[in-house]
């Protein structure tokens, strides 16, 4: 594997970016002499993360197709062909000088063009895909049959792909299950001995979940639990007024390992990486899928945990605030049920996912 060149492409959102970074870190830890180059988008989260991580990278002026009909969306779509042409030119120059032996695609609009170029012009390059969701994204569906291997996060994904698939699970952040509950007092100013509900809507927050929590705060205050509530940056100003000794409101949680260790119950969306983390940590959950996710993949992701006995599911369309409160209250007050759900969650967690994915990459490089 020494002196091999590996291109890792994916991003747009954390769900595609963080697996790419986790895979790259594992490769470097095993074989420091491998050259890794990341490809992402100027418009994705990676444009902020890559410079901070100080990784070798190229950002393309590409963004996803806008499905709305506003003037802004139409204008962005008109520019899309031009962005594709410029991005392909930039990629051809990168391929010429970097000469990748393997391309790893983790999904998102940033990964499609490098995979397309490899498939059309550089057929000697090995392709491996990592699909996070139970229903594969469009990039995986496009290029799965051209890849040597597709590493998937859910068993159900295999049914949608006619290629060599391996169930590895999804990469999670290092140390995510090693948080210390005792640290929660100093980090979050919350009591480590009190039953705790953790609510978050992904790294950017969820306006819907925030509104639901606001609507049940009065009832929450009357039961003996505490709340760790990540609002996201955009909504924090609106909800920070509810911060008190029982309810900790924060725009972003840097130390998720400690947050998970504190939580007796998690209320969240059902993005693939979120579910990977809560199962590795063995946390019971109430899942409220984002209804507009491509292919309704968040509902399919959530169903896998529900079927395993690790979660309950509520649907946004008809959800009333009181229904959420009643489910939280019923679960948090039932220690036996919480324990059963926790064990079920832990059973389906895949803490070695990153290692298994990189094992496959190293096999390709032989």
Q: Cα 138–139–141 angle (5° rounding)?
A: 60
Q: Check residues 78 and 29 and name the one with the higher pLDDT.
A: 29
Q: 72: which 2 tokens?
A: 């802004």
Q: Are strands 285-287 and 265-268 parallel, antiparallel or unpaired?
A: parallel
Average pLDDT over every residue of 320-330: 98
Please state, in angstroms and rounded to a whole number, the distance separating the CA atoms of residues 352 and 332: 30
In eight-state DSSP terms, residue 65 is P
pLDDT 10s digits, 48-102: 999 999 999 999 998 765 555 555 555 555 666 888 889 999 999 999 999 999 9
Could you tell me the pTM of the whole model? Answer: 0.88
If you classify domain 181-348 with CATH, what class do you get? alpha beta
If you classify domain 5-171+351-364 with CATH, what class do you get? alpha beta
Q: Is the pLDDT of residue 294 over 90?
A: no
User: Do 181-348 and 5-171+351-364 have the same topology in CATH?
Assistant: yes
Please say whether the beta carbons of 23 and 172 come within 8 A. Answer: no
What ranges make up the beta strands (E) of the chain? 5-9, 35-41, 57-60, 102-105, 126-131, 149-152, 165-167, 196-200, 226-230, 247-250, 265-268, 285-287, 311-313
pLDDT 10s digits, 329-345: 999 999 999 999 999 99
Mean pLDDT, the chain, as a whole number? Answer: 92
Q: 218: which 2 tokens?
A: 């009065």
List the domain boundaries for the chain: 5-171+351-364, 181-348
Please state, in angstroms and rounded to a whole number, the distance separating the CA atoms of residues 191 and 282: 20
Q: HSE on the CB side for 352, CA within 13 Å?
A: 5
- The pLDDT-based confidence of 174 (bands split at 50, 70, 90) is confident
- The pLDDT-based confidence of 105 (bands split at 50, 70, 90) is very high
């Amino acid at each position: 594997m020494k002196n091999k060149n590996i291109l890792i492409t994916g991003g747009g959102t954390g769900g595609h970016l963080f697996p790419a970074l986790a895979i790259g870190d594992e490769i470097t830890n095993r074989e420091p002499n491998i050259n890794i180059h990341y490809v992402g988008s100027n418009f994705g989260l990676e444009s902020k993360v890559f410079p901070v991580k100080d990784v070798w990278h190229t950002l393309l002026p590409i963004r996803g197709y806008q499905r709305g009909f506003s003037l802004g969306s139409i204008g962005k779509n008109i520019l899309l062909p031009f962005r594709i042409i410029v991005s392909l030119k930039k990629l051809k120059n990168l391929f010429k000088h970097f000469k990748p032996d393997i391309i790893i695609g983790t999904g998102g609009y940033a990964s499609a063009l490098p995979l397309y170029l490899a498939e059309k012009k550089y057929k000697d390059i090995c392709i491996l895909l990592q699909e996070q969701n139970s229903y594969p994204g469009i990039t995986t569906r496009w290029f799965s049959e051209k890849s040597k291997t597709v590493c998937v996060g859910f068993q159900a994904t295999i049914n949608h792909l006619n290629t060599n698939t391996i169930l590895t699970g999804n990469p999670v952040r290092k140390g995510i299950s090693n948080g210390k509950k005792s640290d929660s007092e100093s980090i979050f100013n919350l009591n480590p001995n009190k039953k705790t509900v953790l609510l978050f809507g992904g790294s950017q927050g969820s306006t819907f979940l925030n509104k639901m929590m606001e609507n049940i705060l009065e009832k929450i205050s009357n039961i003996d639990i505490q709340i760790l509530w990540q609002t996201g940056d955009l909504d924090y100003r609106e909800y920070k007024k509810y911060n008190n000794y029982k309810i900790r409101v924060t725009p972003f949680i840097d130390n998720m390992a400690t947050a998970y260790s504190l939580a007796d119950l998690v209320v969240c969306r059902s993005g693939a990486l979120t579910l990977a983390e809560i199962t590795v940590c063995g946390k019971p959950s109430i899942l409220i899928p984002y209804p507009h996710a491509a292919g309704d993949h968040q509902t399919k992701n959530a169903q896998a945990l529900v079927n395993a006995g690790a979660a309950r599911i509520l649907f946004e369309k008809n959800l009333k605030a009181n229904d959420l409160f009643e489910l939280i209250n019923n679960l948090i007050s039932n220690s036996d049920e919480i324990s059963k759900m926790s064990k079920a969650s832990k059973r389906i967690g895949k803490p070695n996912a990153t290692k298994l994915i990189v094992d496959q990459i190293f096999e390709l490089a032989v």
